[in-house]
């Protein structure tokens, strides 16, 4: 029960954080396709990995019973996605040093205070690059998903190890029960054969004296 709660929580976290990555990168991919230009590797790689990871997260969440039965396989796929996400985030690492916001000085404005005089103030605006901000958001969410998939991979591996040990114990108990049943059946047959041989010997003894 605890595994189900933890697994579902982290899977929801992965889905909610992967959807924005896929949506923003799909926007960039579409722009490059319309311009008939090759999509850069740092965009295309993270887009492909995030799409596959989102499909895997949704599938394993809604087919929980299969995921529970194949927990170690799920763990291996999750850890593989950790490696793929690290590689895609590494290609996008340059955006971490980029400054997406800049201060732009506008025209000067005179502010009058009546008899106290007047002051000239320069207008200030903050310009934010949409492209830079979206790529930076994808970079941050990609790092978060590296952690999320690592956690779900470890959880699934631990659960699969416990499940395998439990199955081995059940198999050993079944073998012991089958052996005990076979031993009891063989003992019953031996006792029955002994009774039959005893009855035959008594009959032959009586016949000899008669």
- Tens of pLDDT, residue by residue over 160-196, are 655 455 555 555 666 666 666 666 655 555 555 555 5
Crossing angle for the helix pair 130-209 and 2-34, to the nearest 10 degrees: 140
- Per the rule left: phi > 0, alpha: psi between -120 and 50, beta: everything else, 105 is beta
When pLDDT is averaged across residues 104-116 and rounded to a whole number, the result is: 57
Least trusted range by pLDDT, from 25-34, 62-71, 94-103, 146-155: 62-71
For 185, half-sphere exposure in the C-beta direction (CA atoms, 13 angstrom radius) is: 6
The sign one gets for the Cα dihedral 46, 51, 54, 59 is negative
The pLDDT assigned to 68 comes to 67
User: Is pLDDT above 90 for 90?
Assistant: yes
Question: What pLDDT does residue 205 have?
Answer: 45
At 110 the three-state DSSP class reads strand
Work out the average pLDDT over 23-40: 93
**CB contact at 8 A, 39 and 28:** yes
**Per-residue pLDDT at 89 exceeds 90:** yes
Q: How confident is the model at residue 34 (pLDDT cuts 50, 70, 90)?
A: very high
The first and second tokens of residue 11, run together, are 């899977």
Residue predicted with more confidence, 21 or 192: 21
Calculate mean pLDDT across residues 19-46.
93
Span 136-143, average pLDDT: 95
Global confidence as pTM: 0.68
């Amino acid at each position: 029960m605890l595994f189900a709660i933890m697994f579902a929580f982290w899977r929801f976290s992965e889905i909610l954080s992967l959807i924005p990555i896929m949506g923003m990168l799909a926007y960039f991919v579409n722009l490059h396709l319309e311009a008939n230009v090759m999509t850069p590797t740092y965009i295309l790689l993270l887009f492909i990995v995030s799409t596959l990871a989102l499909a895997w997260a949704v599938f394993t969440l809604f087919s929980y019973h299969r995921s529970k039965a194949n927990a170690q396989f799920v763990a291996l796929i999750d850890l593989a996605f950790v490696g793929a996400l690290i590689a895609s985030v590494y290609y996008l690492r340059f955006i971490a040093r980029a400054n997406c916001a800049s201060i732009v000085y506008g025209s000067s404005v005179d502010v009058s205070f009546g008899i106290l005089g007047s002051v000239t103030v320069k207008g200030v605006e903050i310009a934010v690059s949409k492209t830079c901000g979206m790529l930076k958001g994808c970079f941050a969410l990609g790092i978060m998903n590296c952690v999320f998939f690592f956690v779900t991979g470890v959880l699934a591996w631990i659960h699969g190890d416990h499940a395998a040990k439990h199955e081995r114990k059940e198999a050993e108990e079944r073998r012991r029960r089958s052996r005990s049943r076979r031993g009891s059946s063989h003992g019953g047959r031996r006792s029955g054969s002994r009774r039959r041989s005893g009855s035959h010997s008594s009959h032959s003894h009586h016949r000899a004296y008669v």
